[in-house]
A and B are shown apart, each in its own frame.
Chain A
């Protein structure tokens, strides 16, 4: 089955700096890679995702890059703000024909702390 490794487990940055979180996956068939943000005591919320036919995707201060050959993908947050502090999870999934996706396999998470 799929295995997702995520690094680092904790990341502390100063407000305004950039943060990068990296994940690797094992199953070359995986083709859908979402990132979730989970604040303490709250539900995971999808912040950005990427499919394997795309190398990079941006949404304002957040970007995700994917290297299919190396089987790794990364989350980039620029101009970090204190409200970005949370646990971030990467995940990998097989998206079936027609778009419906299968189970998500998650990394262990990265606790991001943005210091004012």
Chain B
């Protein structure tokens, strides 16, 4: 499968714990996006990278959230001191960048905070 992949697919954690998710974009895609989707809602933008540079962060991304893309390939999203309100599907998407607008989504990581 050469699409966007995410790991893990499901994560259950207790409130206050830290969690980290990984996203592997489509090879050669230099733009990578993180979105959050809650039940009955459309995906909401969190942050995006152009290669290794994080170019924008949504105000939805509190100080407890941090994202990295150290070598311009895979990305990680870490949530510290999780809260029940963090429960959601975390989606990663990638796009080729210059000359292409299509964003391709991964299967998501479903986070449940108990």
Q: Is B69 an interface residue (CB 8 A)?
A: no
Q: Is B72 an interface residue (CB 8 A)?
A: no
Residue count of chain B within 8 Å CB distance of chain A: 28
Task: Report how far A103 CA is from B31 CA in the complex, Å.
Answer: 10
Q: Is A98 an interface residue (CB 8 A)?
A: yes
In the complex, which of the residues B31, B42, B48, B105 contacts A45, with contact meaning CB atoms closer than 8 Å? Answer: B105
Q: CB-defined interface of B32-56 with A at 8 Å, one 1/0 digit per residue?
A: 0101000011111100100000001
Specify which chain B residues have a CB less than 8 angstroms from the CB of A101 in the assembled complex. Answer: 95, 101, 103
- Using a CB–CB cutoff of 8 Å, the interface residues on chain B facing chain A are 4, 31, 33, 35, 40-45, 48, 56, 58, 91, 95-108
In the complex, the answer to whether A43 meets B106 with C-beta atoms within 8 Å is yes
Residue count of chain A within 8 Å CB distance of chain B: 28
Within 62-116 of A, Cβ neighbours of B (below 8 Å) are at 89, 91, 93, 95, 98-109
In the complex, the answer to whether A93 meets B107 with C-beta atoms within 8 Å is no
In the complex, the answer to whether A49 meets B106 with C-beta atoms within 8 Å is no
In the complex, the answer to whether A100 meets B107 with C-beta atoms within 8 Å is no
- A interface: dominant SS: strand
- Using a CB–CB cutoff of 8 Å, the interface residues on chain A facing chain B are 4, 6, 32, 34, 36, 42-46, 49, 51, 89, 91, 93, 95, 98-109
Closest to B45 in A: A103
In the complex, the answer to whether A107 meets B101 with C-beta atoms within 8 Å is no
In the complex, which of the residues B33, B42, B58, B91 contacts A109, with contact meaning CB atoms closer than 8 Å? Answer: B42
Closest CB of chain B to A70's CB: distance in Å? 21
In the complex, the answer to whether B41 meets A34 with C-beta atoms within 8 Å is no
Specify which chain A residues have a CB less than 8 angstroms from the CB of B48 in the assembled complex. Answer: 102-103
Specify which chain A residues have a CB less than 8 angstroms from the CB of B95 in the assembled complex. Answer: 100-101
